[in-house]
A and B are shown apart, each in its own frame.
Chain A
């Protein structure tokens, strides 16, 4: 069983697809419940995987490896085969992200109850998306990573373009093109690495690149080549993360996509960018990564400040949150740029923490939109009076977002900045400005919605029981990480240590 566990996990959402095929497309209730069940199944398996996962080792676990495609190439050296394997496995980092994916997917499926039409095709695409995400984090070679990465793109295109708001198609296209550019660069880099080294395996690649330069020269791998590859990778993942000035698509998606999909997008898909930078950037080209640290940090600070400034000026609460995501992803870059223990830890914590917080906030915005038909800040006021639970959770989410101690946001920001202050104090000092701005825009948005003069809304019922589940679960997770970060730390430590060892920090 264990030998296949991870594959079963990755492809488990397909069971949902299969079952849905046999449900009549007009049977709204069954489809929606099957939608939730279909995501609970992968979550169950993810928990089994977690229990099979041994904490503390830095080696890959639950690995699977099969021969898949083989090209025979004749070169001056004679016949060389370029094999591509199906290889998957988990380490601490990917385990955490897989868990995050499984949890957020279930909650997003519950949030999908508000979808008004074509539920069947919606959930089929939803399951495919989940499969893609699980696969991305479990993949252990470039080819597989790329395939799962692209598998997330296509369902997203449909989900945004068909079920989104007014300008959904435009948003779907800009999602497709921007991410297309990212994956185009990624593909060229991956193929180039493959052809130079003859392997696509993450660990083998990292090992190859850690060889002394003299040996690498024989493989035609120069320092310039490494640097070029790293820069290309960083640009590719900068689109995904997104990094200023490549962020406009992401704001559009956050505004136009249905709330449940934004939960997934903001909660997990953006994190693929961070994951990519950590695994491919820092993990494979540590020396070059270190020499680019200042630039990365600079972009991090720019992201942080730019996102925060724009969030401050928005009148649409979805836009506030979208720019807040841009801003928070800056903190990931800041932590990575620091390249020391606390910085790295902060970056990865931020990945997880922001995944939970943004999923929570976007879920609540979706709930608010459903009641008021608007997401303009001016449309809301005094929500706390009529809907105390919604307002309470919203306030808590906002506080987590601005980094209140005791919540997950605090630890990650604190660690990331601690790391950067150690390495680049001036940059870090400028960056702290962003934290103040964050507090301002979050409070501005949250307070003007929850308190103040009460505004008329078409509907003003509080969170229903099906809505309370995602809200409370996410809030509980945020508090859990905030109060007891040691659990997450134990999971991540070995992976981070391995990367830090490469970085020499």
Chain B
């Protein structure tokens, strides 16, 4: 690759990524030269500015057509734009949450946290734009490695160390599994470009290897469930969520999960959409029962185990497993609503989960505990925390006039929309939702029905802002979901996702 080729690419496609990369590098340098005892809050501001800048860059790209650079390994399409907005928004909220975190312990590591966060974000964004197995994997690893370190940031805290270690080990295994599966895909097709793989899949020659293909699918899918914390690779979530600092937990449960769905959609849907099955023409149709079983198992495991948790962070870990199960349902039904359903649900999930984690953070810092009893009598002590928390919990439980309800309603539409309708999957989802009422409402009951002598809770201004923003968004999207849906339909054409532009041919053959 000579300089001319390098310059011929439309680098503006990567503007948001460059901004994040630049700011992350800058942060690491500044952090290096800052005095050890000086406050790292300015770094948070800088990081925040970077994320906002990247967001602005994406909004400026909204009208751009599908573009692909670097030999079609990196594309800018509606899909990547839509999900990058989620990733950036989530990270921004996590940043505000972290910058107001007054834990002594993290203070010394402050600087690291901000550029690691941005590095993780960069990895996630790369995944959203990748059209090649290699870049996808590099993005995945960048996200994972940064997350491992972040989980262990509280160096004095045993739990945090344990959390990081468990995360590294289970993460490593999951990556190995994913890579193993991907190697079959590569071996069978001889391509790393997703669209070229998709083309090769139609080759009649591959019919002979349909068993191998099926095997590859099963393994890769299982490996990728790690990032979204779904069965079978969900076990890490409770331990890691419990030990990691709350902002990191919020990041893992929202941004990292979103990234997990991004890679799942990118890789699975594009590569396997035309893949032949063993007995039929479509592999995706044949593996439906498998995905369905995983979705059902995830919903059941998450919701049922959450019932027994006293530790609020563990409870939210299982809740987040359950939520991943809900989002897997559109995967099964595979309707044309797939993208907007997942996008909308993740958006709703972003607000409700980060909102809830903000309150958990405020309370756990003040009470120095993560037991559910920190919520005792919150309504009397601080109604302005109890009421938004109630909205977040109602939204997570999927009760109307919250964003969570609209998200769930959409998922039901997807599940029951196509022939044959997936009644039993919808029934599992509904039944486990009912189970979730018990533990979500238990928190509400503790806040409203119990009394406590504990004192009022003071909320740092930044967190109050996050809280207000999340609460308003949760309700607003519940009452007027068209705000988000119209934005989605107006700016994103999801057909672009499948569009294999000519760039593939020109670049690979000309150079």
Tell me the A residues contacting B by CB distance below 8 Å: 68-75, 82, 121, 143, 146-147, 150-151, 153-154, 157-158, 161-162, 168-169, 172-173, 176-177, 180-181, 184-185, 187-188, 191-192, 194-195, 220
- Which residues of B have CB within 8 Å of A153? 399
- Which residues of A have CB within 8 Å of B337? 71, 73
Q: With A and B bound together, what is the CA distance between A259 and B421 in angstroms?
A: 45
**Cross-chain contact A73 with B430 (CB below 8 angstroms):** no
Query: Is B465 interfacial (CB 8 A cutoff)?
Result: no
Q: With A and B bound together, what is the CA distance between A75 and B340 in angstroms?
A: 15
Ranked nearest first, the 8 interchain pairs of A and B with the lowest CB-CB distance are A74-B336, A147-B400, A191-B412, A184-B430, A195-B417, A150-B400, A192-B416, A180-B434
B130 CB, min distance to chain A CBs, angstroms: 25
Query: Is B427 interfacial (CB 8 A cutoff)?
Result: yes
Q: Pick the contact of A147 from B401, B410, B421 — CB < 8 Å?
A: B401
Q: With A and B bound together, what is the CA distance between A82 and B416 in angstroms?
A: 13
Which of B28-36, B258-266, B441-449 is the interface stretch? B441-449
**Cross-chain contact A69 with B481 (CB below 8 angstroms):** yes
Q: With A and B bound together, what is the CA distance between A132 and B45 in angstroms?
A: 44
* Closest A residue to B380 using CB positions: A118
A148 CB, min distance to chain B CBs, angstroms: 8
**Cross-chain contact B438 with A177 (CB below 8 angstroms):** yes
- Which residues of B have CB within 8 Å of A180? 434, 437
**Cross-chain contact B482 with A188 (CB below 8 angstroms):** no
* Closest B residue to A172 using CB positions: B445
Query: Is B409 interfacial (CB 8 A cutoff)?
Result: yes
Q: Pick the contact of A162 from B412, B423, B434, B448 — CB < 8 Å?
A: B448
- 6 A-B pairs within 8 Å (CB atoms) are namely A75-B418, A173-B438, A180-B434, A192-B421, A194-B413, A195-B416
**Cross-chain contact A72 with B489 (CB below 8 angstroms):** yes
* Residues from 350 to 405 in B contacting A, C-beta threshold 8 Å: 379, 394, 399-401, 405
**Cross-chain contact B401 with A188 (CB below 8 angstroms):** no
Chain B interface SS verdict (over half): helix
Query: Is B284 interfacial (CB 8 A cutoff)?
Result: no
- Which residues of A have CB within 8 Å of B336? 73-75
**Cross-chain contact A188 with B449 (CB below 8 angstroms):** no
Q: With A and B bound together, what is the CA distance between A173 and B444 in angstroms?
A: 12
Contact with A along B230-247 (1 / 0, CB 8 A): 000000000000000000
A384 CB, min distance to chain B CBs, angstroms: 39
**Cross-chain contact B485 with A70 (CB below 8 angstroms):** yes
Query: Is B502 interfacial (CB 8 A cutoff)?
Result: no
* Closest A residue to B420 using CB positions: A220
Chain A interface SS verdict (over half): helix
Query: Is B419 interfacial (CB 8 A cutoff)?
Result: yes
Query: Is B431 interfacial (CB 8 A cutoff)?
Result: yes
B263 CB, min distance to chain A CBs, angstroms: 24
**Cross-chain contact B406 with A69 (CB below 8 angstroms):** yes
Q: With A and B bound together, what is the CA distance between A158 and B401 in angstroms?
A: 17
Query: Is B44 interfacial (CB 8 A cutoff)?
Result: no
Q: With A and B bound together, what is the CA distance between A130 and B451 in angstroms?
A: 27
- Which residues of B have CB within 8 Å of A68? 482
Would A184 and B431 be within 8 Å (CB), given that A69-B406, A161-B448 are in contact? yes
Query: Is B202 interfacial (CB 8 A cutoff)?
Result: no
Interface size on B, residues (CB 8 A): 37
Would A161 and B449 be within 8 Å (CB), given that A150-B400, A151-B400 are in contact? yes
- Which residues of A have CB within 8 Å of B409? 143, 187, 191
Query: Is B335 interfacial (CB 8 A cutoff)?
Result: yes
**Cross-chain contact B416 with A161 (CB below 8 angstroms):** no
Would A157 and B485 be within 8 Å (CB), given that A73-B337, A74-B336, A184-B431 are in contact? no
Q: With A and B bound together, what is the CA distance between A74 and B337 in angstroms?
A: 8
**Cross-chain contact A220 with B412 (CB below 8 angstroms):** no
A504 CB, min distance to chain B CBs, angstroms: 30
* Closest A residue to B481 using CB positions: A69
Would A73 and B417 be within 8 Å (CB), given that A147-B401, A161-B445, A187-B412 are in contact? yes
**Cross-chain contact B433 with A184 (CB below 8 angstroms):** yes
Q: With A and B bound together, what is the CA distance between A195 and B412 in angstroms?
A: 10
- Which residues of A have CB within 8 Å of B410? 71
Q: With A and B bound together, what is the CA distance between A71 and B336 in angstroms?
A: 11
Q: Pick the contact of B399 from A150, A181, A192 — CB < 8 Å?
A: A150
* Closest A residue to B430 using CB positions: A184
- Which residues of B have CB within 8 Å of A192? 416, 421, 423
**Cross-chain contact B419 with A158 (CB below 8 angstroms):** no
**Cross-chain contact A188 with B485 (CB below 8 angstroms):** no
Q: With A and B bound together, what is the CA distance between A185 and B433 in angstroms?
A: 12
Contact with A along B421-441 (1 / 0, CB 8 A): 101001100110110011001
**Cross-chain contact A151 with B416 (CB below 8 angstroms):** no
- Which residues of B have CB within 8 Å of A173? 438, 441
- Which residues of A have CB within 8 Å of B406? 69
* Closest B residue to A67 using CB positions: B482
Would A188 and B413 be within 8 Å (CB), given that A69-B482, A154-B399 are in contact? no
**Cross-chain contact B482 with A191 (CB below 8 angstroms):** no
**Cross-chain contact A188 with B445 (CB below 8 angstroms):** no
B271 CB, min distance to chain A CBs, angstroms: 21
**Cross-chain contact B394 with A154 (CB below 8 angstroms):** yes
Contact with A along B448-483 (1 / 0, CB 8 A): 110000000000000000000000000000000110
**Cross-chain contact B412 with A71 (CB below 8 angstroms):** no
B350 CB, min distance to chain A CBs, angstroms: 20
- Which residues of A have CB within 8 Å of B394? 154
Would A191 and B401 be within 8 Å (CB), given that A69-B406, A69-B485, A157-B441 are in contact? no
B480 CB, min distance to chain A CBs, angstroms: 8
A359 CB, min distance to chain B CBs, angstroms: 26
Listed residue (A73, A74, A143, A169) with the most chain B CB atoms within 10 angstroms of its CB: A73
A373 CB, min distance to chain B CBs, angstroms: 22
**Cross-chain contact B449 with A169 (CB below 8 angstroms):** yes
Q: With A and B bound together, what is the CA distance between A70 and B427 in angstroms?
A: 24
Q: Pick the contact of B445 from A72, A154, A169, A177 — CB < 8 Å?
A: A169
**Cross-chain contact A177 with B448 (CB below 8 angstroms):** no
- Which residues of B have CB within 8 Å of A150? 399-400, 405
* Closest B residue to A181 using CB positions: B434
**Cross-chain contact B437 with A195 (CB below 8 angstroms):** no
Q: With A and B bound together, what is the CA distance between A185 and B423 in angstroms?
A: 11
- Which residues of A have CB within 8 Å of B421? 192, 195
Contact with A along B314-355 (1 / 0, CB 8 A): 000000000000000000000111001000000000000000
* Closest B residue to A168 using CB positions: B449
Q: With A and B bound together, what is the CA distance between A117 and B441 in angstroms?
A: 22
A299 CB, min distance to chain B CBs, angstroms: 23
**Cross-chain contact A177 with B485 (CB below 8 angstroms):** no
- Which residues of A have CB within 8 Å of B431? 184
Would A191 and B441 be within 8 Å (CB), given that A69-B406, A184-B433 are in contact? no
Q: With A and B bound together, what is the CA distance between A188 and B425 in angstroms?
A: 11
Q: With A and B bound together, what is the CA distance between A10 and B426 in angstroms?
A: 32
B305 CB, min distance to chain A CBs, angstroms: 18
- Which residues of A have CB within 8 Å of B437? 176-177, 180
**Cross-chain contact A146 with B416 (CB below 8 angstroms):** no
- Which residues of A have CB within 8 Å of B335? 73
Q: Pick the contact of B449 from A146, A162, A220 — CB < 8 Å?
A: A162
Would A191 and B399 be within 8 Å (CB), given that A69-B481, A162-B448, A176-B441 are in contact? no
Q: With A and B bound together, what is the CA distance between A212 and B434 in angstroms?
A: 37
B478 CB, min distance to chain A CBs, angstroms: 9
Q: With A and B bound together, what is the CA distance between A82 and B341 in angstroms?
A: 14
Q: With A and B bound together, what is the CA distance between A162 and B386 in angstroms?
A: 15
**Cross-chain contact A184 with B434 (CB below 8 angstroms):** yes
**Cross-chain contact A220 with B419 (CB below 8 angstroms):** yes
Q: Pick the contact of B416 from A74, A121, A158, A191 — CB < 8 Å?
A: A191
* Residues from 487 to 501 in B contacting A, C-beta threshold 8 Å: 489
Q: With A and B bound together, what is the CA distance between A176 and B394 in angstroms?
A: 13
**Cross-chain contact B400 with A188 (CB below 8 angstroms):** no
- Which residues of B have CB within 8 Å of A71? 337, 340, 410, 413, 485
Contact with A along B126-137 (1 / 0, CB 8 A): 000000000000
Q: With A and B bound together, what is the CA distance between A253 and B111 in angstroms?
A: 55
- Which residues of A have CB within 8 Å of B438? 173, 177
* Closest A residue to B488 using CB positions: A72
